[in-house]
């Protein structure tokens, strides 16, 4: 766990993919190898396990338990490990949160309930019920492109009154809402959209939960350090150099091309699970060009 109260989960957290074997089964050894790589050489001081990029909708609870256990065994003493436990079922989310706490994770990522289309009062009850269920700090995940319902500023202000709701992963891209929330709460803001990390840092964000950190984590850490030291010219320069990477990884679903990149680099990844589909040769060729333009050679 981070020792900085202003940055409760670290500053560069990789939203880690879930390595799979070719037959689609979980690759536990690969998960440990990838986690160690990201922490030791990949610039990550934290990992989010079973966020969107971890393919959580198609990984069973038992499989998630096994992967969390493996990752904690590999890097739990060297990095913050945050478990994605949010679902669109409050009772199920509480069950997952308690299971993750028993394993020894450092925190919980709780996404806005998807598909149900709850009102703001429902969101607040969902978040606080999960936060009440364990002693772990909670990062809310605001991602209306997937959940439809945004977490409104007033709801975030109310949620921030809970002692264990301490952070937000923002993929809402509403800079005004971020500014107002930061002005009215002590919530730590983490960018949840790689392209917007620099502007969120400029507003007062403390870090990123990143997908592209699978391949450019040290450069993200350098960019955050530059912002903190007031060297915005350097931060802008790093950000501009990373634009082709941001674009390239998200030309299709981010998990697909992240796994393609890792497979090309010889790191554990494997295939994706349906309904996702693996990258085509044409997509991989485009990815190679995009990453090369951003300084990453596959």
141 is catalytic: yes
Q: What CA–CA distances, in Å, run from 7 to 15, 92, 130, 187?
A: 17, 28, 21, 10
Closest CA to 83 of 63, 111, 105: 105
State the sign of the Cα–Cα–Cα–Cα dihedral 196, 1, 146, 59.
positive
Paired with 190 in beta bridges are: 169, 207
- Residues 32, 71: contact at Cβ < 8 Å? yes
Torsion angles phi and psi, residue 139, rounded to 5: -110, 120
Query: Which tokens sit at 263?
Result: 């497979």
Q: What CA–CA distances, in Å, run from 230 to 65, 223, 234?
A: 41, 11, 9
Query: Which tokens sit at 47?
Result: 């990992």
Q: Say which of 96, 169, 172, 259 is annotated catalytic.
A: 169
Q: Rounded distance, CA 67 to CA 212, Å?
A: 21
169 is catalytic: yes
- Residues 272, 19: contact at Cβ < 8 Å? no
Q: Say which of 96, 141, 190, 246 is annotated catalytic.
A: 141
3-class DSSP string for 83-142: EECCCCCHHHHHHHHHHHHHHCCCEEEEECCCCCCCCHHHHHHHHHHHHHHCCCCEEEEE
Would you state the torsion angle of the CA atoms of residues 190, 266, 18, 11, taken in this order, to the nearest 10 degrees? -20
State the sign of the Cα–Cα–Cα–Cα dihedral 71, 250, 143, 62.
negative
Q: Which residues are catalytic?
A: 141, 169
């Amino acid at each position: 766990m981070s020792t900085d109260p202003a940055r409760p989960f670290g500053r560069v957290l990789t939203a880690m993919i879930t390595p799979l074997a070719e037959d689609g089964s979980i690759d536990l050894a690969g998960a440990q190898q990838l986690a160690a790589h990201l922490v030791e050489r990949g610039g990550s001081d934290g990992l989010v396990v079973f966020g969107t990029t971890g393919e959580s909708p198609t990984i069973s609870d038992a499989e998630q338990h096994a992967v969390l256990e493996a990752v904690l065994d590999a890097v739990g003493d060297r990095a913050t490990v945050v478990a994605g436990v949010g679902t669109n079922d409050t009772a199920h989310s509480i069950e997952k949160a308690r299971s993750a706490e028993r394993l020894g994770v450092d925190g919980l990522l709780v996404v806005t309930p998807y598909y149900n289309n709850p009102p703001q009062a429902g969101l607040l009850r969902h978040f606080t019920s999960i936060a009440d269920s364990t002693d772990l700090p909670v990062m809310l995940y605001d991602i209306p492109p997937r959940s439809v319902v945004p977490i409104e500023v007033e709801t975030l202000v109310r949620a921030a009154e809970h002692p264990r709701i301490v952070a937000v992963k923002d993929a809402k891209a509403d800079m005004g809402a971020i500014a107002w929330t930061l002005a009215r709460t002590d919530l730590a803001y983490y960018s949840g959209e790689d392209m917007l990390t620099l502007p969120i840092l400029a507003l007062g964000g403390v870090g990123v939960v990143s997908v592209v950190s699978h391949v450019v984590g040290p450069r993200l850490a350098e960019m955050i350090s530059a912002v903190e030291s007031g060297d915005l010219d350097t931060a802008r320069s790093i950000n501009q150099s990373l634009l082709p990477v941001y674009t390239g990884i998200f030309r299709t679903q981010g998990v697909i091309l992240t796994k393609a990149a890792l497979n090309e680099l010889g790191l554990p990844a494997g295939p994706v699970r349906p309904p996702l589909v693996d990258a085509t040769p044409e997509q991989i060729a485009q990815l190679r060009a995009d990453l090369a333009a951003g300084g990453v050679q596959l």
